[in-house]
Amino acid sequence: MSPISALQVEPVTLRGRWVCLEPMSLAHVDELCACGLDPALWRWTPSSVSTPAQMQAYVERALADQASGKALPFVLRDVLGGQLVGSTRFGNIAAKDRCLEIGWTWVATSHQRSGVNTEAKTLLLTHAFETLGAHRVELKTDALNETSRRAIARLGAVQEGIFRRHVVIESGRVRDTVYFSITDEDWPSVKLRLQALAR
């Protein structure tokens, strides 16, 4: 049996009908501040971003993770209006095992429930399975975040379990984290599901 090649995750632009995913750069900080300093966006995250300095640090950390091969961060741009409306990324990249996570996703309040998030996930999943050749994509969320849990399940991801007392968030609360996954074997049926959601 020939050895399985490692994932080659490199910056790429992914374009849909409603949203374009562009590789994140420091040049995006001001636009991200314009749409991303709303405290409601960070309610369920381990740490929050509420000032321009924190957004600058957020982008710098994401780019440092990209440089070390751990992540590939994107900004979300509204195709029709042209403005940035959020961010997402591939993270926890395990190149040898052909696994990665989709997460660190936030969408400006103005574009929530607009289809942007679902289309962004569709673009990322399609790229992960059909271009990169991933075996597994993970998604996770705070166990208390029922909206996120429903949205992930709606994609067709399988809930695998709950990591109890997993992360201490900024407020001091100890978070339980729900893990979901989609595998390359799941992908054909998940793809059909996503195509139906897009109609």
Query: What residues contact 43, with CB distance under 8 A and at least 6 apart?
Result: none
Domain layout of the chain by residue ranges: 14-198
Q: Which residues pair with 72 in a beta bridge?
A: 90
Task: Give the pLDDT confidence score for residue 115 in this predicted structure.
Answer: 86
Tokens 């040898």 locate to 96
Residue 84 has pLDDT above 80, yes or no: yes
Instruction: Tell me the average pLDDT across 78-106.
Output: 97
Instruction: Tell me the average pLDDT across 112-136.
Output: 95
Please give the mean pLDDT across all residues of the chain: 95
Question: What kind of architecture, by CATH, is found in domain 14-198?
Answer: 3-Layer(aba) Sandwich (3.40)
Task: Give the pLDDT confidence score for residue 3 in this predicted structure.
Answer: 59
Could you tell me what percent of the chain has a pLDDT over 90?
90
pTM (predicted TM-score): 0.95
Instruction: Tell me the average pLDDT across 15-44.
Output: 96
